[in-house]
Amino acid sequence: MDGVIALYKERGMTSHDCISRLRKILHTKKIGHTGTLDPNVDGVLPICIGQATKISELLMGSGKVYRGSITLGMAYDTEDLDGHLIATKAIERPLSSEQIDGLLQKLTGHIMQVPPMYSAVKINGHKLYEYARRGEVIHREPRPIFIQSFKQTKVSSFDEKKQTQTIFFEVACSKGTYVRTLAVDFGKLINTPSVMSSLTRIKSGGFDISQCVTLEQVDKAAGSDTLSDIIEPLSTALSDYPAYQLDDSRWKIISNGGFLDQSILPDREPIVRLVYQGETKALYQFDEPKKVYRPFKMFLKNN
């Protein structure tokens, strides 16, 4: 049982909750997720099983896409609605769509971001949220992130009674991006308190939300012996890497962890996926000084 399940994580659950449930359903401990989702965020959570746990950091490092909303006129200490209200400001004149587009554009490309206090980032051996729960604010150095796109998905909504404006967005971003901090940074551009009011991850690790299955569906499949229908093979999860079909002689070489000469891929791609008899057996990485491909990730049963 090796592969990846594109799990739909429901709101109200932690990523660890999902892993615990799946370990019981699948009767295996060799399982891991590819990046946590906060309890109040739903969406794509790729789950690696068996040999696929070796690629969890590769999937984790891939870009992610989210849809959500930013509400202007109020701020929370957690930067989402799970925390405590810390500031308000009446929105008397809502932003136009053109103004919103311009502000979103300012938060795209290579930018620096300060991680939020309510996060698992460690400073001096302690997670930031541990300091935050004690009421302490710790200095955090800004970190580089990349925002590929940040755009509106529909016309914003203005609540005349509450005097707030809600902006609906889609963002494609790099690993390490805190989308709730982007929501707060949006408000800072116009000196207005703001909060991430909803968030759904719609793409992660190469999987789209349309491919996802629920925990209930996994449980049902496990009980009816159709689990293979919802576990994506390594070849699918690693389809972005160029593939090389191994013959019997080269299969024997990689079975022993040997090197392959650069002739297998004249273009010298940094990483190649090695396939034998229809299955992905390894990822090999090009060693520029030695001009050979050497083991990077091995998916052999005895590894």
Encode 172-208: b = buried (16+ Cβ within 10 Å), e = exposed. Answer: bbeeebbbbbbbbbbbeeeebbbbbbbbbbbbbbbbe
Phi, psi of 51 (to 5 degrees): -60, -25
Please enumerate in sequence order all residues whose Cβ is within 8 A of that of 293, keeping only pairs 6 or more positions apart, or say none.
259, 260, 261, 262, 264, 265, 272, 284, 285, 286, 287
Nearest to 175 by CA among 65, 63, 34, 57: 63
- SS3 category, 252: helix
* Six token digits for residue 271: 């990483």
Task: Work out the widest C-alpha separation in the chain, in whole angstroms.
Answer: 74
Give me the catalytic one of 2, 38, 80, 185: 38
Task: Let me know if 38 is a catalytic residue.
Answer: yes
Nearest to 208 by CA among 227, 168, 236, 228: 236
Residue matched to tokens 């109040």:
40
Distance between CA atoms of residues 50 and 278, nearest Å? 18
Residues noted as catalytic = 38
